[in-house]
Amino acid sequence: MASLFHCLLLFLILFSVSTAQKTSFRPKALVLRVTKDESTLQYYTRVAQRTPAIPIKLSIDLGSEFLWVDCENGYNSSTKKPVPCRSAQCSLSGSKACTSNTNPSDDVCIESPHNPFTNTGTADEFSQDIIYIQSTDGKNPGKVVNVPKFLFTCAPTFILEGLAKGAVGIAGLGGNKVSMPSLFSAAFSFPRKFAVCLSSSTSETQNGAVIFGDGPYVLSPGIDISKSLTYTPLVLNRKSLIGCFPGEASAEYFIGVRSIKVGGKQVPLNSTLLSFDEDGHGGTKISTATPYTTLETSIYKAVVDAFVKALGVPTVPAVSPFTACFSTLKIGSTVNGPDVPPIDFVLQSEKVVWRIHGANSLVFVGSDVACLGFVDGGPLHFVDWGIKFTPTAIVIGGHQIEDNLLQFDLATSRLGFSSLLHNKKTGCSSFNFTSIDD
């Protein structure tokens, strides 16, 4: 049985969709409510799409190139249309494939939806349909607006395997031209920026957000996080090997980590792994599809050893997938207290540091056990399971992103990050989703 919360959400979406069809309101920013799935640890959202409009559940992937949706199992819409081959929209996607019909004018553009949770890919029709999304002024939610010919890719039902229960596709937030941030920016002529703020809670009433457009990003109690961001360049990986069209630049988000410190002391590691080789292997990626930060084996061992030494607390039996676990009774104070050594990713200089505090470094796995929430990603190597992909030395995962606000500026290739919001007496669940201004 659907929860009262979801029944109310459905009513608000559909009521506001009817309002959106009657207004010429142009928003300055848009917002998606984001919830963490307790079972899969995926982050998901809901948007309204199609004619007649229905709400659809989508798992979020920061690095996916576009919105894709299962069209095989009951996709009904009077406004859905395929994207023609050799059209401007097809060229924008970078597609290199089309259907082959007797009449070339009937050819349809083909794209390659990819499931990042199972590393499964396929090819299907590139399409367009109306989509509805809520606007925001950065403080409060506003009217629901629509984009009539929003680009997305159809996908067969089998590719849904591994997604959060009820999800019918992926909300792709990648850095390419047909991702959701780029398309929303083009539709409403606002800055090609978006912010991600993920809540650590799996409660359906303690949501995070994705905000398309510029700040302010105001969290309760009236704190504008956009005024306190630290910035670092986004690094382009020119050798994406994901999908059916390998060899192009990656739509994923990479940053330039130069070194790692634990408790203020530099961790000895092979620094060549922190840069891309000629095949695009290595580097540091930010990912919402990875629950916990993964480190190349040699980096992982060095960080774990340094953390255990700096914490100075005996370990207890490991709890998979972690290897360094501790009694919470031995750690003392709180996870954000001075007894838990911070882990620093040093970026373009010693003064620009992404600091991971205890709330993001430790994972509670029982009433009295906490583990270092990093995972051994294995040695850096090239793997081919039918779909080729680029192994990465460091993948900063969801747990380490939670309750940090990240702003991705696609126009200037810059990342703004807040560090842990708990230190500012707020968090990502403090966005206002309580009402819709109709």
Does 423 fall in a domain?
no
Do 296 and 209 lie in one domain? The reply is no
Instruction: For residue 232, give the H/E element and its range.
Output: strand 230-235
Does 395 fall in a domain?
yes
Does 225 fall in a domain?
no
Q: How far is CA 92 from CA 125, 140, 251, in A?
A: 15, 33, 14
Do 342 and 263 lie in one domain? The reply is yes
Instruction: Confirm if 164 and 60 have CB atoms less than 8 A apart.
Output: no
**One-letter amino acid identity for 14?**
L
Q: Cα separation of 50 and 412, whole Å?
A: 33
Does 438 fall in a domain?
no
Do 187 and 240 lie in one domain? The reply is no
Instruction: Confirm if 171 and 32 have CB atoms less than 8 A apart.
Output: yes
Does 242 fall in a domain?
yes
Which among 343, 323, 339, 341 is positioned nearest to 331, based on CA atoms? 339
Does 234 fall in a domain?
yes
Handedness of CA 230, 233, 234, 239 (dihedral sign): negative
Does 435 fall in a domain?
no
pLDDT attached to residue 339:
85
Do 163 and 235 lie in one domain? The reply is no
> What's 402's domain CATH number?
2.40.70.10
Domain count, the chain: 2
Do 185 and 234 lie in one domain? The reply is no
Do 236 and 197 lie in one domain? The reply is no
Is the omega angle on the peptide bond into residue 314 within 30 degrees of 0, that is, cis? Answer: no
3-state secondary structure of 227: helix
* Residue ending a domain, choose from 194, 216, 238: 216
Do 119 and 59 lie in one domain? The reply is yes
Does 11 fall in a domain?
yes
Tell me what percent of the chain is helix, strand and coil, each rounded to the nearest 5: 20, 35, 50
DSSP 30: E
Do 183 and 237 lie in one domain? The reply is no
3-state secondary structure of 228: helix
Do 254 and 387 lie in one domain? The reply is yes
Q: Cα separation of 85 and 100, whole Å?
A: 10
Structural domain of 86: 4-216
pLDDT attached to residue 3:
44
Beta strands of 166-262 (E only): which ranges? 169-172, 193-197, 208-212, 218-219, 223-224, 230-235, 253-255, 259-262
Do 295 and 366 lie in one domain? The reply is yes
pLDDT attached to residue 320:
96
Do 174 and 247 lie in one domain? The reply is no
Do 200 and 325 lie in one domain? The reply is no
Tens place of pLDDT for every residue, the chain, 438 residues? 344 344 444 444 544 554 444 446 789 999 999 999 999 999 999 999 999 999 999 999 999 999 999 999 989 999 999 999 999 999 999 998 998 776 777 899 999 999 999 999 999 999 999 999 999 998 888 899 999 999 999 999 999 999 999 999 999 999 999 999 999 999 999 999 999 999 999 988 889 999 999 999 998 888 899 999 999 999 999 877 565 455 578 999 999 999 999 999 999 999 999 999 888 889 999 999 999 999 999 999 999 999 999 999 999 999 999 999 999 888 866 666 668 999 999 999 999 999 999 999 999 998 889 999 999 998 886 555 444 344 899 999 999 999 999 999 999 999 999 989 988 889 999 887 643 333
